Amino acid sequence: MRSKQGSDTIKPLDSSLPVRSCISCRERANPVALVRVVLIDGKVIPDLKGGAAGRGAWLHKKCAEVAIARSAFRFAFKQDAAVDVSELLKFLQD
C-alpha cells in the first residue's frame, strides 16, 4: 500500500523519486513536497536550489511552526544550543 504525502496537495508517493521525512510530522514525501533547510553559522536557512553544503533537514511548509516550537531543528542538526530560525520565518512569510 502506498503512503500519502503530507503536502498542501495530497498526491500518491512517487516511488521513482527519492523519499524524505518531514522533521516535524514524520510523514514521508518526495522532495518536491518538502522544503530543505540547512544550518549555516547557527542559522536555519531554506535551501531552495538544493545544492547547499552540509547536513540538511526536510519539512513541509505547514509544519514549520510546530518544528520551531518542538526545537526539531536543534535535534535535526545535532546542536547543543538553540538555533536561529529568523531566516526561515522570513521565507515562510513570503
Predicted confidence (pLDDT) per residue in 64-93, tens digit: 999 999 999 999 999 999 899 999 999 999
Q: What is the mean pLDDT of the chain?
A: 87
Query: Using 50, 70 and 90 to split pLDDT, how confident is the model at 11?
Result: low
What's the pTM? 0.81
Cell numbers placing 14:
512517487
The Cβ-side half-sphere exposure at 42, using a 13 Å CA radius, reads 5
Q: Structural domains in the chain? A: 20-93 (3.30.1230.10)
Residues in contact with 8: Cβ distance below 8 Å, sequence separation at least 6, in sequence order = 61, 62
Predicted confidence (pLDDT) per residue in 30-70, tens digit: 999 999 999 999 999 999 888 898 889 999 999 999 999 99
